[in-house]
């Protein structure tokens, strides 16, 4: 039997944020890009995550996330997760039409597809074992598009606004999260040093929280993400390389 990819690390990557569009804006989407991250704990690299954003047609987006173990970790944890979101680009950011999830390589292998019906204001999950249908608000999104939506919202926000509130359709629930913009700091990553906004997302049901550092020079792409719990830093994700965004590190 193969070992399962650690649940908290999956949650760190696949649930980096939980976002939905902010106030209407006239912002433009970023250029097509790819971002590659290293995932680790206590100085040990455990895995990798790859983000890919493209605009296959005018007004449409395709966004993909691939998370997997790497190196010696892969000898123990063989599972990997692939997620994708396709939909429309709007003045408010990104509105998903279809979200796909696939976990493979271990005993927890499964697939899911969410279809967003904006005319009737609901989302339908096609997983046969746990089918569900749920009403959604106009600003609901899926979880994988979260980092891209955050990039949009940070670019368009009023500097006086220090909190962003978001909604996401996940697991048969419409979940709401608040992100607090705390400070501007310089962080070092394998891709270089970046000036970035430090943002906190507190788990409402525990002392667990997530810190993100989003770099204005990279259209507010997250360059570092940390998960903390019980006073310790559990996992960290750092940008290793980015292709397609216009800036270079400091």
**Which among 118, 67, 64, 124 is positioned nearest to 96, based on CA atoms?**
118
Domain spanning 7-243: CATH 2.40.360: yes
H or E segment to which residue 8 belongs: helix 7-14
Domain boundaries, the chain: 7-243
Predicted local distance difference test score (pLDDT) of residue 119: 93
3-state class (DSSP) for residue 136: coil
Low-confidence stretches of the chain (pLDDT < 50) are: 1-26, 75
**C-alpha Rg value of the chain to the nearest Å:** 17
| Structure-block tokens of residue 73 | 């970790």
CA 163 to CA 169: how far, in whole Å?
A: 20
Predicted local distance difference test score (pLDDT) of residue 250: 52
Predicted local distance difference test score (pLDDT) of residue 247: 54
Predicted local distance difference test score (pLDDT) of residue 235: 83
Mean pLDDT across the chain: 81
25 by Cβ neighbours in 10 Å (0-12 / 13-18 / 19+) ranks as middle
């Amino acid at each position: 039997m193969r070992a399962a990819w650690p649940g908290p690390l999956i949650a760190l990557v696949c649930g980096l944020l939980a976002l939905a569009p902010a106030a209407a804006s006239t912002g433009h989407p970023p250029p097509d890009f790819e971002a590659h991250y290293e995932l680790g704990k206590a100085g040990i690299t455990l895995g990798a995550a790859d983000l890919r954003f493209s605009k296959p047609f005018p007004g449409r987006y395709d966004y993909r996330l691939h998370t997997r173990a790497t190196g010696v970790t892969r000898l123990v944890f063989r599972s990997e997760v692939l997620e994708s979101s396709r939909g429309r680009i709007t003045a408010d950011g990104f509105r998903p039409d279809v979200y796909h999830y696939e976990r493979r390589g271990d005993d927890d292998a499964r697939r899911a597809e969410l279809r967003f019906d904006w005319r009737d204001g609901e989302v339908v999950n096609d997983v046969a074992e746990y089918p569900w249908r749920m009403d959604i608000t106009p600003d609901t999104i899926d979880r994988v598009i979260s980092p891209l939506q955050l990039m949009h919202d940070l670019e368009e926000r009023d500097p006086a606004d220090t909190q962003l509130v978001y909604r996401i359709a996940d697991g048969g629930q419409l979940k709401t999260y608040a992100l607090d913009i705390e400070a501007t700091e310089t962080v070092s990553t394998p891709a270089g040093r970046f000036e970035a906004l430090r943002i906190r997302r507190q788990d409402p049901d525990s002392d667990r929280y997530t810190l993100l550092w989003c770099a204005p020079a990279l259209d507010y792409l997250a360059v570092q993400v940390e998960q903390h719990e019980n006073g310790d830093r559990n996992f960290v994700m750092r940008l290793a390389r980015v292709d397609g965004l216009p800036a270079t590190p400091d």
